[in-house]
Structure 1
């Protein structure tokens, strides 16, 4: 595989990408003998756009997806656009033209690809305009992330920034209120105003936000935990927080 090519697998991930960026597809592998309703849209689109497709046995797909659940479809595609801090202005300007206030998710050091994929799915469902992550010590947009995101990786830009605290300060200068989650605060998520231009910061699995990230937030909140478990999976907590913002904005 060429250096800048990527693998994408999973029915939703491949279907969403082929609908949005068919020009990126180089070749497609489908599970031999599988011709059900879920795969038909992908087969039809590949024919429409002239994408070479071949039927192969399960072992070929298993090897290409390195044991991940591929659902009978794997594609080789050209590398997509990488978003950086220079793209944030354009993303927020596009949202403003649609009458939307800034709504961002910032992930500080989330390294598990399954958690990043689930956060992308949450962000898409909540109407988040972009996810901002540090360039280092964070999960990348891999085939596994795309599979878990079930298509959301194609709709929510993943913006990689060199200096997270500096980007947060730039957002604050643009009038974006930045709220972070931290277990040590006494302020409950449900007791704060979460309308207006907003960015939600979620910390890494287990460790939470880094010190500088935490200090740069305008406000820190926590989820009320009634049971013996002290914390939630980052993607679960992200979904709860995002939809509380959505609820208040409505």
Structure 2
């Protein structure tokens, strides 16, 4: 699998997943020195060849061949929380099919301190190079798992004592009004339709993020970031 752009490539180099670097001829010497210091084999190519290879000119002169992303298991997410000695904070995605949104949510979840992201098999973007690039290396550190049926999985979480809050613009309670000092899963719906009815009904609470502008809703990845941040900052340290 190919990823591109300097930040994603250097993050992949740090986590040891790069097998080969493809670098445009003529990039600045400082970048060349940093890439050569990694010890990963470099193949020099014309910039237009990289354009054609990744389908964009926005690669910044560097492309990396990395191992294919693999799905984790749902239990890996809870194991991650246990290993860190923390109450679970899980992000569930209900119909987020845009790969850039998916990657951005993974990145925010890892950076802000959630323990994993879980999606439904048939209602999610795949783990693609676009997801990997947008996640900027976060997939190497955060479990990202699939389940066959999200409503059924929510029932399983609740049986384990995990509360479930679903993001819904019309909810009566806002993010600042809920209790986050408990094992928790946050559910983010698709941008077009939001949460499905059955998923919504499974939630213990629905939560709204107050908006003051003329646009009525937030991008799914932004909403996820705000709710994760609210949850983490509301917990005792």
Please state how far the C-alpha of 1:230 moved relative to its aligned partner: 0.8
TM-score, scaled to structure 1: 0.87
- The structure-2 alpha-carbon separation of the partners of 1:132 and 1:77, relative to structure 1 and needing over 3 Å to count, comes to same
- The structure-2 alpha-carbon separation of the partners of 1:54 and 1:108, relative to structure 1 and needing over 3 Å to count, comes to same
| Correspondent of 1:228 among 204, 214, 235 | 214
Any gaps of 5 or more consecutive residues in structure 2? none
Specify the alignment match of 2:51 in structure 1: 62
SS of the counterpart of 2:117? strand
Any gaps of 5 or more consecutive residues in structure 1? 1-5
SS of the counterpart of 1:136? helix
User: 1:93-128: per-residue Cα shift (whole Å, max 9, x none)?
Assistant: 242132111111111111111111211121112111
Specify the alignment match of 2:170 in structure 1: 184
Specify the alignment match of 2:150 in structure 1: 164
> Aligned-residue CA RMSD in angstroms?
1.8
Report if aligned partners of 1:15, 1:41 keep a CA contact under 8 Å in 2.
Answer: no
- The structure-2 alpha-carbon separation of the partners of 1:40 and 1:113, relative to structure 1 and needing over 3 Å to count, comes to farther
- The structure-2 alpha-carbon separation of the partners of 1:243 and 1:68, relative to structure 1 and needing over 3 Å to count, comes to farther
Specify the alignment match of 1:44 in structure 2: 37
Please state how far the C-alpha of 1:68 moved relative to its aligned partner: 5.9
Report if aligned partners of 2:70, 2:127 keep a CA contact under 8 Å in 1.
Answer: no
SS of the counterpart of 1:227? coil
The reply to whether residue 148 of structure 1 matches residue 95 of structure 2 is no
SS of the counterpart of 1:104? strand
Specify the alignment match of 1:3 in structure 2: none
SS of the counterpart of 2:55? coil
Specify the alignment match of 2:65 in structure 1: 76
Please state how far the C-alpha of 1:157 moved relative to its aligned partner: 1.9
SS of the counterpart of 2:43? strand
Report if aligned partners of 2:96, 2:190 keep a CA contact under 8 Å in 1.
Answer: yes
The reply to whether residue 90 of structure 1 matches residue 90 of structure 2 is no
| Correspondent of 1:30 among 23, 27, 31 | 23
SS of the counterpart of 1:123? helix
Please state how far the C-alpha of 1:40 moved relative to its aligned partner: 4.1
Specify the alignment match of 2:119 in structure 1: 133
Specify the alignment match of 2:183 in structure 1: 197
TM-score, scaled to structure 2: 0.92
Distance in structure 1 (CA, Å) of the matches to 2:144 and 2:29: 32
Distance in structure 2 (CA, Å) of the matches to 1:28 and 1:97: 34
Distance in structure 1 (CA, Å) of the matches to 2:157 and 2:202: 11
